[in-house]
């Protein structure tokens, strides 16, 4: 636990440094930050996956690829939004309060996700 507390300020500083970067540079920086934290906390299971992700990002990451990925995720999120709106309307017509609350929450989460994805797209421009 003490190791985790000692790591937290260093990770927060590194994350702040990563946010100043864009595109693949930011992605690589964030993976390196997670890798450092996994090493410091002795999380060997996470180390292998993060090292593979870092190697892959260094070998094949491109800003165009990131932009395309975000565009795809955004399209899927918009489809979810339309579906949840229809589900909400149906639940309201049926008078199912529990379903109404469920779909309102889904709409809220999906709207937040869409905003986050758009913000990421704007950062790549």
Per-residue pLDDT of the chain (125 residues; tens, 9 = 90+): 444 444 455 555 556 689 889 999 999 999 999 999 999 999 999 999 999 999 999 999 999 999 999 999 999 999 999 999 999 999 999 999 999 999 999 999 999 999 999 999 998 87
Q: Could you give the CA distance from residue 27 to residue 19 in angstroms, rounded to a whole number?
A: 10
**Residue 4: predicted pLDDT:** 47
Residue identified by tokens 């990131």 is 66
**Residue 17: predicted pLDDT:** 87
Residue identified by tokens 């709207």 is 111
Q: Could you give the CA distance from residue 88 to residue 84 in angstroms, rounded to a whole number?
A: 6
Residues 93 and 105 sit within 8 Å (Cβ to Cβ): no
Contacts of residue 91, defined as CB under 8 A and 6 or more positions apart, other chains included, come to 99, 100, 102, 103
Q: Could you give the CA distance from residue 117 to residue 73 in angstroms, rounded to a whole number?
A: 8
Residue identified by tokens 């937040």 is 112
Residues 25 and 66 sit within 8 Å (Cβ to Cβ): no
**Residue 16: predicted pLDDT:** 65
**Residue 40: predicted pLDDT:** 96
DSSP secondary structure letter of residue 43: -
**Residue 1: predicted pLDDT:** 44
**Residue 82: predicted pLDDT:** 98
Question: What's the start-to-end Cα distance of the chain, in Å?
Answer: 40
**Residue 6: predicted pLDDT:** 47
Delimit the domains of the chain by residue range.
2-60, 63-124
């Amino acid at each position: 636990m003490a190791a985790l507390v000692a790591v937290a300020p260093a990770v927060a500083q590194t994350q702040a440094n990563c946010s100043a970067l864009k595109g693949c540079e930011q992605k690589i920086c964030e993976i390196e930050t997670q890798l450092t934290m996994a090493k410091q906390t002795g999380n060997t299971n996470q180390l292998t996956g993060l090292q593979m992700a870092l190697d892959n990002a260094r070998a094949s990451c491109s800003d165009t690829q990131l932009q395309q990925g975000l565009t795809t995720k955004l399209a899927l999120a918009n489809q979810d939004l339309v579906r949840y709106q229809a589900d909400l309307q149906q639940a309201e017509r049926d008078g199912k309060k529990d379903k109404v609350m469920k779909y309102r929450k889904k709409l809220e989460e999906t709207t937040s996700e869409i905003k986050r994805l758009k913000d990421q797209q704007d950062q790549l421009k």
